[in-house]
Structure 1
Amino acid sequence: MKVIRKDNGQLIANDVRRAETFWSRLRGLTFTKAVNEQSGLYLSPCRSIHTWFMKIPIDVVYLDAEDVVVATECSLAPWKMGMHAKGAKKVVELAEGKVTAEKIQPGQQWLLEA
Structure 2
Amino acid sequence: MKYVQVVNTKNNTVLADKVGVADTFLLRLKGLLGRKSLEAGEGLVLYPCSSIHCYGMKFAIDAIFLDENKKVLALYSWLEPGQTAKVPRAKYVLELGAGSACFDVEIGDILEF
TM-score, structure 2 normalization: 0.93
In the aligned structure 1, how far is the partner of 2:111 from the partner of 2:56?
29
SS in 2 for 1:61: strand
Considering only aligned residues, what root-mean-square deviation do their CA atoms show, in Å? 0.9
Structure 2 runs not aligned, ≥5 long: none
Residue 48 of structure 2 aligns with which residue?
45
Residue in 1 that maps onto 2:107: 106
3-state SS in 2 of match to 1:49: strand
Map 1:9-20 onto structure 2 (within 5 A).
9-20=12-23
Q: For residue 23 of structure 1, give the secondary structure of its aligned residue in structure 2.
A: helix
Aligned partners of 1:5, 1:100: CA distance in 2, in Å? 13
Shift of 1:101: 3.5
**Equivalent position SS for 1:36:** coil
Match of 1:96 in 2: 98
TM-score by length of 1: 0.92
CA distance in 1, matches of 2:106, 2:89: 15
Any unmatched runs of 5+ in structure 1?
none
Give, in whole Å, the separation in 1 of the partners of 2:40 and 2:76.
Answer: 16
Residue equivalent to 2:7:
4
Please state which structure has a larger fraction of its residues in strand: 2
Moved over 3 A (4+): none
- What fraction of aligned residue pairs are identical, expressed as a percent? 34
Q: 1:35 & 1:72 partners in 2: Cα distance? A: 18
Count of residues in Structure 1 that have an aligned counterpart in Structure 2: 110
> How many angstroms apart in 2 are the aligned matches of 1:95 and 1:31?
15
